A and B are shown apart, each in its own frame.
Chain A
Amino acid sequence: MEKYRIDESKGLEFGIYTLGDHLPNPLTGERISAEQRIHEIIEYAKLAEQAGIDFFSVGESHQEYFATQAHAVVLSAIAQATEKMKIASSSTIISTSDPVRVYENFATLDLISKGRAEIIAGRASRVGLYELLGYNLRDYEALFEEKFDLLLKINEEEVVNWSGEFRAPLNNAKVLPRPQNGSMPIWRAVGGSPASAIKAGYAGVPMFMAHLGGPASIFKRTIDAYREAAGRRGFDTSKLPVATAGFFYAAETSQQALKDLYPHINEGMKKTNGQGFPKQHFAQGVDPHNIMNIGSPQEIIEKILYQYELFGHQRYIAQIDFGGMPFDKLMKNIELIGTDILPAIKKYTANK
């Protein structure tokens, strides 16, 4: 785990991520400016660090209702505004970028943040960016695999010799600057399905698993598939971290949490994905065995510990700000995490 800068003796890492969505608040119908949204994301990261949260990441989506297309630039501002927490992308769409440029950006981010940067590389769940950036959607898988491999190679080797289909060859190329310790953690973003997880396992890279709702046990299968695939390829799975990432919302009661969160998720998903979140499924989100961490602080603590027992993962990452969630509600959640949830999680998961 050291290679990925994870110290398991300190317990489960707790992080926050934002997709960088820029959606109206469904309760008022109003949308803040992109300028305000970006500043709020930076402020959100600062507050998260003050609350003791370990990690903060920002996503890349090139479509309407998003504001952090240039996510590395936003992360750079966050690096400057924070001192301790790890910062990363969630995720960087490596398929439609040049791995050399991505690495240059994130290595620089690692230096600005003094060794706190990580890359989480994904394939994009929405594909509008292919046209925007001039790629053929038919190459969806091949683009990702080739570029992700190159990104890993650049991370491992200071002098790179490489040739492939989608980029000019590299001959004795030095990709500079180098991260603080010569290399940096690079994760593979995975949707909830085992098929996708197996690919991360074959590559022997850490898995960042995003999820919506459903029983935690279903996602255990995905994590098992990942570890099994990695093991079969000869990787030591005890050295490969797993992160889970999904909806989170804490309020005084689980009923209040559902009430506060539901309109944002439902209306936000309608706008970004074209389908809302069925209320019946959402109501099941408060079940202790449902993977969505929605409820009272105590209920959330129990859920996260249950997931920790089940998954044996190293990092949990909460998404709270989706769908135009007002900033005061984000602040309240950060406060509940910092005062109630985080201390309990650390107490039960760190080595004494």
Chain B
Amino acid sequence: MKIVGLSGSKVGSKTRTAMDYTIKTVTEKYPNIDVTLIDLAEYDVQFSDGRNYLEYEGDTKYVAQSLMEADAIIIGTPIFQASIPATLKNIFDLLPINAFRDKVVSMLVTAGSSKHYLIVEQQLKPILTYMKAQIVQTYVFIEEKDFYQKEITNDDVFFRIDRLAEDTVILTETYTNIREAKEAEYGF
């Protein structure tokens, strides 16, 4: 199984802090899973110009191809101006329609205000659904007050991230098994 963690912003540190812990959790708990973290702050990704993702070059191709090859994706995103960051939306725009077919996608969100809680529900999930992701319905919502100097300080956040990691892996295994069983029935 291949899991890619995608930290979706170039701004700030909270999402990266939470993603680092998430990746560490998955790696420790599931040593056989191939886990990669892509922090968009570390890559020079161009804006989508409509070409097939295979035709991009450099960082853009690396990021798009890594996501397309993943069995599961854990998206970490802050909330900016009551929406997802443009950097993250651009990743979706780089990928083809149906890019997340046969993939499980889970989410963790960091936000400066509790009022942003439903933004993932209303803005991120519809995109993932359109792109055919199997979504881990429960996401982890982390507020500013749960961090102190680039560390998570709220035990409940750790617990919730642990559960997110577990759910991501279990659902990926489950959906893979269901699909394989169904495809075997076709007999071709």
Interface residues of chain A, those whose CB is within 8 Å of chain B, are 63, 126-128, 137-138, 140, 255, 258-259, 262, 273-275, 278-280, 283
Which residues on the B side are within 8 Å of A278 (C-beta)?
101-102
Complex alpha-carbon distance, A67 and B188, angstroms: 29
Which residues on the B side are within 8 Å of A138 (C-beta)?
49
Question: Is the CB–CB distance between B68 and A280 below 8 Å?
Answer: no
Which residues on the B side are within 8 Å of A126 (C-beta)?
51-52, 55
Complex alpha-carbon distance, A270 and B96, angstroms: 12
Closest residue of A by beta carbon distance from B53:
A274
Question: Is the CB–CB distance between A137 and B187 below 8 Å?
Answer: no
Question: Is the CB–CB distance between B188 and A258 below 8 Å?
Answer: yes
Complex alpha-carbon distance, A137 and B52, angstroms: 12
B148 contacts the other chain (Cβ, under 8 Å)?
A: no
Q: B161-188 CB contact bits vs A (8 Å, 1 = yes)? A: 0000000000000000000001100111
Which residues on the A side are within 8 Å of B183 (C-beta)?
279-280
Complex alpha-carbon distance, A259 and B188, angstroms: 4
Question: Is the CB–CB distance between B99 and A258 below 8 Å?
Answer: no
Complex alpha-carbon distance, A226 and B83, angstroms: 40
Q: Tell me the interface secondary structure of chain B in the complex.
A: loop
10 cross-chain pairs, A with B, having the tightest CB-CB distances, nearest first:
A259-B188, A258-B188, A274-B54, A127-B51, A279-B183, A283-B186, A128-B55, A262-B188, A126-B52, A274-B53
Interface residues of B in 9-59 (CB under 8 A from A): 49-55
Question: Is the CB–CB distance between A280 and B182 below 8 Å?
Answer: yes
Interface residues of B in 40-96 (CB under 8 A from A): 49-55, 65, 68, 96
> When A126-B52, A128-B55 are in contact, do A275 and B188 touch as well, CB less than 8 Å?
no
Q: B98 → chain A, closest Cβ, in Å?
A: 7
Q: B89 → chain A, closest Cβ, in Å?
A: 20
Which residues on the B side are within 8 Å of A140 (C-beta)?
50
Complex alpha-carbon distance, A266 and B9, angstroms: 34
> When A274-B96, A275-B98, A275-B99 are in contact, do A137 and B49 touch as well, CB less than 8 Å?
yes
Scoring B52, B68, B183, B188 by chain A CB atoms within 10 A of each residue's CB, the highest score goes to B188
Q: B170 → chain A, closest Cβ, in Å?
A: 23
Which residues on the A side are within 8 Å of B101 (C-beta)?
275, 278
Which residues on the A side are within 8 Å of B65 (C-beta)?
274
Question: Is the CB–CB distance between A274 and B49 below 8 Å?
Answer: no
Q: B64 → chain A, closest Cβ, in Å?
A: 8
In-complex Cβ contact of A137 among B51, B68, B102, B186 (8 A): B51
A and B contact pairs by CB, cutoff 8 A, 9 listed: A126-B52, A126-B55, A127-B51, A255-B188, A274-B54, A278-B101, A280-B182, A280-B186, A283-B188
In-complex Cβ contact of B52 among A259, A262, A273 (8 A): A273
Which residues on the A side are within 8 Å of B99 (C-beta)?
275
Q: B186 → chain A, closest Cβ, in Å?
A: 5
Q: Apart from A63-B55, A138-B49, A279-B186, what are 8 other A-B pairs with CB-CB below 8 Å? A: A255-B188, A258-B186, A258-B188, A273-B96, A275-B96, A275-B98, A275-B101, A278-B102
> When A279-B183, A280-B182 are in contact, do A274 and B52 touch as well, CB less than 8 Å?
yes
Which residues on the A side are within 8 Å of B102 (C-beta)?
278
Which residues on the B side are within 8 Å of A283 (C-beta)?
186, 188
Complex alpha-carbon distance, A222 and B65, angstroms: 32
